[in-house]
Amino acid sequence: MPTNLRDLGEHYLGVHLEGVFKMPVVLTDPDGEILDTSENDGEALGGQVLYDTVRQNPETGDPLVSENPIVTLRRSSLKRVPISGETWGVKIPGSPKEGAALVDYVIDPTRSLEGGKTFGFIRLYLRKAEQVPE
């Protein structure tokens, strides 16, 4: 077990985000490279997926349910870390059921990415990918 607090935090981040509750995540970077395995162990890339979140309406104070998923990943598991403003494709299961089909999303360009190097995670706000007619 690591004794340095930052090492310990990184260890527990791996347990929390990539443990028994992990969901598969496939990232496609702006250059078209697919990141579907972890940089650390070659296993499938995975993290925490929240399918909906509750926010507060700033005008009324009423709760609003947002059905845009949020994905949280461990930075050290990524071959390349997304930066705000880049166009990334993201595939996550359509539901938390085992074996659910992967659904296409993109990182929402209107939301800044959250997280940092201090605690080693990155939070991606997603929106449904739209196909442009040919």
For residue 87, being part of any structural domain is answered with yes
Contacts of residue 106, defined as CB under 8 A and 6 or more positions apart, other chains included, come to 87, 88, 89, 90, 126, 127, 129
Domain count, the chain: 1
For residue 133, being part of any structural domain is answered with no
- C-beta separation of 123 from 115 below 8 A: yes
For residue 17, being part of any structural domain is answered with yes
For each of the chain's 134 residues, which pLDDT tens digit applies? 557 877 787 788 888 888 888 999 999 999 999 999 888 778 889 999 999 888 888 899 898 888 899 999 999 899 999 998 899 999 999 999 989 999 999 999 888 898 877 778 999 999 998 765 45
pTM of the model: 0.84
Contacts of residue 61, defined as CB under 8 A and 6 or more positions apart, other chains included, come to none
For residue 134, being part of any structural domain is answered with no
For 11, list phi and psi in degrees, rounded to 5. Answer: -60, -50
For residue 106, being part of any structural domain is answered with yes
